[in-house]
Amino acid sequence: MRISADGSDVLVVGGGIIGLVTAWRAAQRGLRVTVADPDPGGGAAQVAAGMLAAVTELHYGEQMLLGLNVASAERYPDFVAELEEASGQETAFRTCGTLSVALDADDRAHLRELHALQQRSGLTSQWLSGRECRRLEPMLAPGVRGGLRVDGDHQVDPRRLASALLTACERAGVVFRRDRVQRLTVTGGRAAGAVLADGQRPAADQVVLAAGSLSGRLPGLPEEVAVPVRPVKGQVLRLVVPSAYAPFLSRTVRAVVRGSHVYLVPRADGELVVGATSEEMGWDTTVTAGGVYELLRDAHELVPGITELPLTETRAGLRPASPDNAPLLGPTALPGLHLATGHHRNGVLLTPVTGEVMATLLTTGELPAMARPFSPNRFATTGDSPASASAHEEQPV
């Protein structure tokens, strides 16, 4: 690691939860950190439901990612305790567990398969009959055919998490440049900082690109640096459970309905988050009647009483997805430039471990062993993939 006389040790491009946790952890280790973002604390976390679903969101072919997801889930209790202490803010981390249910024979077969995969992967989940599911959650539809109880899949409020990270960064001395990044600057074959929309040029010895789904569009990225990240749109609804109806649900409830995932995440303060669509629509964040209809239709099949609740918000966000759905963590082909992006469905879950891994990389130059499978180098030869093609349409981030 080089130490610059002026500028920062680290410039983080992007102030979403991944950029903020990287900045906070790096500042805690004594580095001078600047974050460039027109709206730090914004981004996909403002839409996400905040499920910490390492077990219930296990997918075939993602066993390597599972290890990182579980490592991050295990860190959550200590992570939020430290963050709440550092920021003086609550994150609404809730150890409520999750119930995944099946509404018909196809759903039940799918869930049985998931249960078998979880067991083969050494994860803890318990098969319940429909009656046992309804005993746990009386608002479930009478037709529920069975379910998986996962007491270890918890939740946090991503908006509170982002706010707490922002304050923790400020208290740790992180400098914020609230502006768009026009381009990366490269000096002597090395990342050297960035040019902002106001013409300022913050310099840094190391640059972390953590701009979510926009990461691959940053002007100035050399051809040899692959950032194969694409946006995957998710529409999400927010409702409120009036106190007369509480407790409406006591844990996260989810299902696959006709092939679409639907989940209901009940917060302690009465908010109920219903998500999410998964759409390959480029950078479109329009909330559509069809998206809202499908979410409410599927949620209503699962929990009929939901139609009684006030609907307070509809919003769409963009998950930053890589070709293998796993994050991009670590150095790139350009010396001094690191990636912390591509977290797709797991950005909130992977926040603690990402901060730790990136801070270690920034202070020691070494990517910790648990993050090495997620090195951006794994895509170094996929420059003609659709993800990379879209990534080359440059624009400020």
Q: Choose between 32 and 345: whose C-beta lies nearer to ligand GLY.
A: 345
Does 44 help bind ligand GLY (rule: CB under 6 A)? no
Does 275 help bind ligand GLY (rule: CB under 6 A)? yes
Does 51 help bind ligand GLY (rule: CB under 6 A)? yes
d(CA 200, CA 15): 18
Least spacing, CB of residue 316 vs ligand GLY, in Å: 11
Least spacing, CB of residue 284 vs ligand GLY, in Å: 17
Least spacing, CB of residue 234 vs ligand GLY, in Å: 5
Q: Choose between 69 and 87: whose C-beta lies nearer to ligand GLY.
A: 69
Q: Which of 345, 350, 356, 358 binds ligand GLY (CB under 6 A)?
A: 345
Q: What does the per-residue mask of binding to ligand GLY show for 198-227, with x meaning CB under 6 A? A: ------------------------------
Least spacing, CB of residue 344 vs ligand GLY, in Å: 7
Three-class secondary structure assignment of the chain: CCCCCCCEEEEEECCCHHHHHHHHHHHHCCCCEEEECCCCCCCHHHCCCCEECCCCCCCCCCHHHHHHHHHHHHHHHHHHHHHHHHHCCCCCCECCCEEEEECCHHHHHHHHHHHHHHHHCCCCCEEEEHHHHHHHCCCCCCCCCEEEEECCCEECCHHHHHHHHHHHHHHCCCEEECCCEEEEEEECCEEEEEEECCCCCCEEEEEEECCHHHHHHCCCCCCCCCCCCEEEEEEEEEEECCHHHCCCCCCEEEEEECCEEEEEEECCCCEEEEECCCECCCCCCCCCHHHHHHHHHHHHHHCHHHHHCCEEEEEEEEEEECCCCCCEEEECCCCCEEEEECEHHHCCCCHHHHHHHHHHHHHHCCCCHHHHHHCHHHHCCCCCCHHHHHHCCCCCC
- Comparing CA positions, the residue from 42, 10, 46 lying closest to residue 25 is 10
Least spacing, CB of residue 179 vs ligand GLY, in Å: 29
The label of the residue with tokens 């069975």 reads 146
Task: Give residues 113-132 in contact with ligand GLY (rule: CB under 6 A).
Answer: none
Least spacing, CB of residue 220 vs ligand GLY, in Å: 30
Q: How many residues bind ligand GLY (CB under 6 A)?
A: 7
Least spacing, CB of residue 110 vs ligand GLY, in Å: 17
Please return the burial class of 31, using the count of CB atoms within 10 Å of its CB with bins 0-12, 13-18 and 19+: buried
Does 50 help bind ligand GLY (rule: CB under 6 A)? no
Q: Choose between 57 and 356: whose C-beta lies nearer to ligand GLY.
A: 57
Least spacing, CB of residue 194 vs ligand GLY, in Å: 29
Q: Choose between 149 and 345: whose C-beta lies nearer to ligand GLY.
A: 345
Does 16 help bind ligand GLY (rule: CB under 6 A)? no
Does 276 help bind ligand GLY (rule: CB under 6 A)? yes
Q: What does the per-residue mask of binding to ligand GLY show for 222-261, with x meaning CB under 6 A? A: ------------x---------------------------
Does 266 help bind ligand GLY (rule: CB under 6 A)? no
Least spacing, CB of residue 111 vs ligand GLY, in Å: 17
Task: Give residues 281-300 in contact with ligand GLY (rule: CB under 6 A).
Answer: none
Q: Which residue number has the CB closest to ligand GLY?
A: 345
The footprint of ligand GLY (CB under 6 A) covers 51, 57, 234, 275-276, 319, 345
